[in-house]
Each structure stands twice: as structure tokens, then as C-alpha cells.
Amino acid sequence: MTKTAGIIGGTGYTGGELARILCTHPDIEVAVMTSRQSAGKKVSKTHSYLDSYMDLEFVDSIPGSMDLDMVFVATPHGAAMQYTPELMESGVKVIDLSGDYRLRKATLYQQWYGKEHTDPENLAKAVYGIPELFREEIGRAQLVANPGCYPTATVLAMAPLFKEGVVLPDVIVDAKSGTSGAGMVPSPRTHHPYCGETIVPYNVGKHRHTPEMEMVLDMITGGESKVLFSPHLLPIVRGILSSCYMDLKVDLSEEELVKMYDKMYGKERFVHVVDEPSIRAVVCSNHCQVAVKRVGSRAVAFGAIDNLVKGASGQAVQCANLMLGLKEEAGLDMPGMGV
């Protein structure tokens, strides 16, 4: 039987990308999309690529009488925790694509997001949504915190080595993202004359995804990790390439390191161990390419994803499939662009 879903916050990149993926999903139908500023306007007028695929109009809010199986909350941070408590009380399954439920401690959220967390009860219930690491927990969850784009690429790149316990917990992450990661609202940093034909580092050591990376690595090892994170803005629209530098605790060859990746990801549909990861190979898809190299006494790991798909809306649909008892790859089983 077809499942019905709602999208709160349908005008942004992640909301539009959710609609793009779900409009051809074999088992999930989008029944409602909200937007306060665009209420009454056809979705396809905002997202022209959905013309002939979706005939909905934006509404101000989801009607209380509407019976939904799943709601995706694609709002800026701080807004999701205003909607989620009522949705949870109604029994609907929820996936939050903002940062409101990613960090397990309300004090950590306030430190990094500059806001008091107003829903600590559901914060404690939220399951972190990387299926390749937490598949069973996601399948049982009512609330999933969809991961950040940088943490997805970075954690998938390093997880096999942390799981095997062969690297020290202090790591350096150098990651580069396309401009769509900054959202739809223009800013001086994403203005083309500033960011075009250059690479710009930003928020070094202060990016909100830093504690998220450390949290997930600690969940894998049970220890305490430390991440020095340097994000960079690339003059492309989609994609992330994360380069991760770790000190080895054990003298292992590169072939032995690669075997750890094959062991962890060999049966995964959306994570692929390659020799040279490429953003173009994964763009517009839910796939992730990872690689590992040995350089002296260090391991260097790489992860490439589309920040709007595996780094946001695609991973949310992957989690929704698990939560609703559907095939995990449903609606997502397509290759990257390649060129």
C-alpha cells in the first residue's frame, strides 16, 4: 500500500530535492507541502522541474485532519523543534533535515547553534540517520535526525578505520563543498563574483558540523574523538569531497586498509570503495564513493557525495524507506551523472 508523506518547508533546496525524488517514488506519495510565503502557489511554479510531475499547491501548514505516514521537516535550524513535538504526539514518523536533533546534548546544541533547545524530550529519542551505520535503529525509530552533508561524507570515509580501531582519535578533515550547501538565500560569501573561480576556506574550527562528526565517531568507537575541520567553498553547485588525515596505531599495508573498507561496504548499495573518488561520479545520486590510501605512518581517507542527495534529501528518503518497511533503495536506485 502506498505511504503518504508531507514536507514542511518545501521551497528550499532540500524541500525541492525531496519532492524531486519522491515524485517518482514507487511507494511514497507526497500529499502536502508547506510554505508560508508561497501558500496557494503551485509547487511547480517554484520548482519548475516538477512541472507535470507534481500538481500540488503549497499550503501554510499541514491540516490537523490529514492522515500521514511520514513528515519530512526541511526547515532552517531552530524551526524544526517547533513542529516536531506535535507531530510526535500524533504518532506520525518524522525526519528532521535541519540540525535540531543531531546533537545528543541540549547544551551542545546551544553552544554550537546559539539557541536554547526547546524539545529535549524528543532530542533524547532521535536516531542519527546514516543507514550504513545505524540501519536497525533507524528502522525502529519514530524520529530520525538526518545527518549534515559534511559529516555524511566524512564519517563514511573514516568509519571502517575507526570501527577496526586502527587509527588515533585525533583527525584532520579538509572538505570542499558546492555552493548549494549554503542554502537558497544568497549571501556575500556565495555571490558568484566572490566565490567563482576560487576556493574559499570558511568557519575553520567553528563549523557546526564539527561536534556532529566527533559525536558519530565516538558512537562507533565508544571513545573520545577530536576533529580539526577545515571546510572550503568550491565554485560548483553540487557535491562534497572530504579528505581525512589519520595517524595509524597499527602498521598496516594499504591493501589491508582497503580490505577493511571492502568488509564494511562490500554489500552496501550506496557506498562504493574506489581508487579515486569523484564528485561528478555521484552528483544527482544517493551514492557515496570512498577510498583509503597509506602515506607513511598515516592513512588518508576520502568521501565524495552529492550534498543535496546523500548529504540531505536522498539520505532522508533512504531513512524513510527503512522506517516505513520499504525497500531501502526504493526511489533512489539511479547512478550519478558521470560527466
Active-site positions read: 149
The b-or-e profile of 267-293 (16+ CB within 10 A means b, else e) is ebbbbbbeeebebebbbbbbbbbbbbe
What contacts 331, CB < 8 A, 6 or more positions away? 21, 22, 24, 25, 26, 27, 28, 317, 321
Residue written as cell 510526535?
88
Q: Give the separation between CA 318 and CA 104, rounded to whole angstroms.
A: 22
Task: Note every long-range contact of 202-210, with CB atoms under 8 Å and residues 24 or more positions apart, other chains counting.
Answer: 202/231, 202/232, 202/233, 203/231, 204/229, 204/230, 204/231, 205/229, 205/230, 207/150, 207/231, 208/99, 208/112, 208/113, 208/148, 209/148, 209/149, 209/150, 209/151, 210/112
Q: In DSSP terms, which residues pair with 302 in a beta bridge?
A: 243, 291
Instruction: Give, to the nearest 10 degrees, the angle between helix 131-140 and helix 209-221.
Output: 80
Q: Three-class SS of residue 181?
A: helix
Whether the CB-CB separation of 211 and 151 falls below 8 Å is answered with no
Residues β-bridged to residue 290: 273, 303
The helix-helix angle for 131-140 and 149-164 (nearest 10°) equals 100
Give the distance from CA 124 to its chain's centroid: 19
C-alpha cell at 132: 550504513
